[in-house]
């Protein structure tokens, strides 16, 4: 069957089997692999995308059911080369470790902030309660969303220049370059490669 929808502002049309799930359509047909495919049973929430602005678990929505709707994936968070404040928050507050849950977490956070620009910690925890971070980094995820709530324009014009992580210089001018771990731990005799 033929389906059409909007994905990250682009109109897409494809010929698919009716049984194709939205997560596989996004990843395999559209090639947008930022949406992760996890438990397949609508438990883990890593496959969350926004459908008409609302978070949905794309492993439990047929691509056919999404036809005619507006889909936003993690690739659609940044606009014009500028990261969404939620993405900046996850960088500032170390909101990810392995990163597997991150796309879903960020999209749910975006939807929450669109609806409630100043959520308290409980509201954030409730919003992400259907999503699992197996690194158990929930505290930093909550802080990341709070960072985004406190910086609705991200690193805006009135703010200090956005962090350029490649240059190794932080917002406050301190050195954020990755330390030479092997050297620093040499005294303890532990061999660690950075």
Partner 1 sequence: MQIPAPFDYVRATSVDNALELLARYGPESRVVAGGHSLLPMMKLRLSRPEWLIDINDLYELDFILRDGNKLRVGALTRHTTLLESDEVAALFPIVRDAELVIADPVVRNRGTIGGSLCQADPAEDLSTVCDVLAAEAVIRGPRGERILSMSEFHRGPYETAVGQDELLCELRFGIRPRTGSAYEKVERRVGDWAVGAAGAAVTLAADGTVDDAAVGLTALGLDHLVADAAAVLRGRRPDEELFAQAGRLAAAACDPVADQRGPVDYKRHLADELTQRVLRRACARAAQMQEG
Contact (CB, 8 A) for 145 and 91: no
CB of 27 to partner 1, least distance (A): 11
Q: How far apart are CA 171 and CA 163, in angstroms?
A: 6
Of 131 and 146, the one with the shorter C-beta distance to partner 1 is: 131
Residue 117 has a CB neighbour count (10 Å cut-off) of: 10
Site for partner 1, residues 135 to 194, rule: CB under 8 A:
none
Q: How far apart are CA 38 and CA 5, in angstroms?
A: 23
Per CB under 8 A, which region of 127-135, 139-147, 170-178, 184-192 contacts partner 1?
A: 127-135
Backbone angles phi, psi at 141, to 5 degrees: -65, -45
Q: Pick from 12, 29, 62, 135: which binds partner 1 (CB under 8 A)?
A: 62
Per CB under 8 A, which region of 125-133, 142-150, 164-172, 176-184 contacts partner 1?
A: 125-133
Q: How far apart are CA 60 and CA 139, in angstroms?
A: 28
Q: Pick from 5, 7, 48, 109: which binds partner 1 (CB under 8 A)?
A: 48
Contact (CB, 8 A) for 91 and 73: no
- The reply to whether 35 sits near partner 1 by the rule CB under 8 A is no
Residues in the chain, overall count: 194
Q: Pick from 46, 73, 88, 131: which binds partner 1 (CB under 8 A)?
A: 131
Site for partner 1, residues 92 to 111, rule: CB under 8 A:
108
Backbone angles phi, psi at 157, to 5 degrees: -65, -35
How many separate helices (H) and strands (E) can be counted in the chain? 7, 5
Of 60 and 176, the one with the shorter C-beta distance to partner 1 is: 60
What are the residues binding partner 1 (CB under 8 A)? 1, 17-19, 21, 24, 40-43, 45, 48, 54-57, 60-62, 64-65, 108, 126-127, 129-131
């Amino acid at each position: 069957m033929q389906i059409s929808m909007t994905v990250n502002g682009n109109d897409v049309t494809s010929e698919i089997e009716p049984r194709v799930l939205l997560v596989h359509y996004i990843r395999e047909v559209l090639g947008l692999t930022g949406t992760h495919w996890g438990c397949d049973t609508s438990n883990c929430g890593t496959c969350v995308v926004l459908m008409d602005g609302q978070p949905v678990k794309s492993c439990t929505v047929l691509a056919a059911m999404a036809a005619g709707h507006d889909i936003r994936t993690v690739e659609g968070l940044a606009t014009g080369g500028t990261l969404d404040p939620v993405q900046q928050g996850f960088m500032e507050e170390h909101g990810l470790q392995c990163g597997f849950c991150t796309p879903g977490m960020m999209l749910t956070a975006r939807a929450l902030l669109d609806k409630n620009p100043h959520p308290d910690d409980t509201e954030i925890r409730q919003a992400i309660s259907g999503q699992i971070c197996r690194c158990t980094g929930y505290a930093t995820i909550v802080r990341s969303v709070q960072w985004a709530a406190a910086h609705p324009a991200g690193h805006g014009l009135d703010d200090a220049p956005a962090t350029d992580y490649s240059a190794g210089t932080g917002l406050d001018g301190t050195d954020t370059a990755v330390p030479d771990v092997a050297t620093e731990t040499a005294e303890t005799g532990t061999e660690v490669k950075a």
